[in-house]
Amino acid sequence: MNKQQSNKAEKYLLDALDRIAKNSYGYAVLYVSISKLKPKHRHPEFVKILGRLFDSVVGNARGYFFVMSNGDFVILGKNITQETVDEAVAKLRQGLSADPILHGQDCSQFATVFEFPANFVTFYKYVEEMLASNVQSEDLLLPQKRPIEAGEIDNVISELDEIDIAELVKRQSVIKIKGAGKFEILFQEFFVAVKDLSLQFDSNLDLVANRWLFLYLTQALDKKTLASFFSASLKKWPKQISLNLNLSSAFSREFIEFARNFLKPEQKVLVELQLVDVFNNLPLYFETKEILNQGGHKVVLDEVQPAALKMLNLKTLKPDMVKLFWEPLLENEPVNPKFKEIIDSLGKENFILAKCDSEKALKWGLSYGITAFQGPFIDDIETAVIRNKCPNAEHCLAQQCLKRRKSLSALAKAGCSHPDILEDLL
């Protein structure tokens, strides 16, 4: 997180403290000392998991989540107790081999509760001093989005009824490399990008600033997305469909209806779950996986950074597949025997390397036995294959073909003279 973003969070924190200053009784702050972790455990993906592990604390406290300029977390709200903090830390211990500070008898060095009004002045001054030492004058001139508040979320969700979600749903293929110049579509991922969704609302509103409210919003979005498949114009559907869902959405009426009335008997669903959601509710994860597997469907751990993979206990989680996210810094690293051992333990055929933006990414994945890939570079390969089949390819730009192929909207494909080829599954 850069200074501008962290200063922004601290300004909002001070503003929130000002609002409760006259009646702070019952409020408390949970301070999570991310800065005390070892450097290797301050990897962005690991920190992201840590932050989401405290979602339940934010929800129960009806509070707000802030990230300080030094990377530490602050949760402001009510009903925050050391017991709830201990529960959140315990979740982390179940699935990750983490920092020693998380495994001591007393985790207060890592996560501490400051009760108000007793500690209000001291904490307020601490935030003021941190802001003063980091703020830059130009930050004050930059436009800033306002975090969505609890009283607004129901109105935002009701606005979803006025939006044609099918127009926002995109698809992206995961391609399996079978040999030189030979590819097949393993499955296609269908999703709604947050940036596309944000464009449908007030441009000054930050939908993701409050993690708990954003989770509430995405649960409603999941239902709308599942319903949108029934009106999609796509004619050639893959045998396997990948969906980004919240854990609870796999139990929803909309998902059951989707699986029962939309999918063909031979079609299966891969439900992509973010690590942060998995660790936030491990019992529900295991229940979801069991139910999905019984129906022939699979669970994919999504957005797993290579550094985070080393911390996972795959023997406990037993995912059906893992989607690794490529990082350009990896291209110069030699093959790591321990990393290869982790991949082999689950089965190299059960890994997907996503965010592939170059041939180097492809070669890195292949060096570990991974043959399934997703990302911009893979999109280009797929587009080239499609355009090679199209007799009118010279009349369109590759970018136009890619955009039309990704969209489920009939309107977006209106300019294509060969929609049957555009939808080809290779």
What is the SS3 assignment for the chain? CCHHHHHHHHHHHHHHHHHHHHHCCCEEEEEECHHHCCHHHHCHHHHHHHHHHCHHHHHHHCCEEEECCCCCEEEEEECCCHHHHHHHHHHHHHHECCCHHHCCCCHHHCEEEEECCCCHHHHHHHHHHHHHHHCCHHHHHCCCCEECCHHHHHHHHHHHHHCCHHHCCEEEEEEEEEECCEEEEEEEEEECCHHHHHCCCCCCEECCCCHHHHHHHHHHHHHHHHHHHHHCCCCCCCCEEEEECCHHHHHCHHHHHHHHHHCCCCCEEEEEEEHHHHHHCHHHHHHHHHHHHHCCCEEEEEEECHHHHCCECHHHHCCCEEEEECCHHHHHCCCCHHHHHHHHHHCHHHEEEECCCCHHHHHHHHHCCCCEECCHHHHHHHHHHHHHHCCCHHHCCHHHHHHHHHECCCCCCCCCCCHHHHCCCC
Check residue 41 and give its pLDDT: 62
Task: Say what the alpha-carbon torsion angle 185, 387, 408, 264 is, to the nearest 10 degrees.
Answer: -40
Question: Could you give the count of Cα atoms lying within 13 Å of 21 in the half-sphere of its Cβ?
Answer: 12
Task: Read off the tokens for 66.
Answer: 């802030």
The DSSP bridge partners found for residue 312 are 96
| Location of structure tokens 């003279």 | 417
Distance CA 173, CA 361 (A): 16
Best CA proximity match to 5, nearest among 164, 149, 177, 209: 209
What structural domains and CATH numbers belong to the chain? 3-144 (3.30.70), 151-422 (3.20.20.450)
Question: Could you give the count of Cα atoms lying within 13 Å of 281 in the half-sphere of its Cβ?
Answer: 14
Check residue 260 and give its pLDDT: 93
Single-letter amino acid, residue 171: R
DSSP state of 349: G
Distance CA 401, CA 422 (A): 7
CB 171 within 8 A of CB 240: no
DSSP state of 39: G
Best CA proximity match to 325, nearest among 376, 249, 369: 376
Distance CA 217, CA 208 (A): 9
Q: Cis ω on the peptide bond leading into residue 337 (within 30° of 0)?
A: no
Check residue 170 and give its pLDDT: 93
Distance CA 218, CA 201 (A): 14
Distance CA 31, CA 73 (A): 6
| Sign of the CA dihedral running 384, 385, 388, 389 | negative
Check residue 7 and give its pLDDT: 66
Single-letter amino acid, residue 212: W
The H-or-E segment that residue 324 falls in is: strand 321-325
Best CA proximity match to 413, nearest among 425, 426, 396: 396
| Residues of the chain falling short of pLDDT 70 | 1-7, 38-46, 88-89, 91-109, 134-144
Distance CA 81, CA 28 (A): 8
| Location of structure tokens 């139910």 | 291
How far are the Cα atoms of 178, 273, 338 from residue 335, in angstroms, in the given order?
22, 28, 9
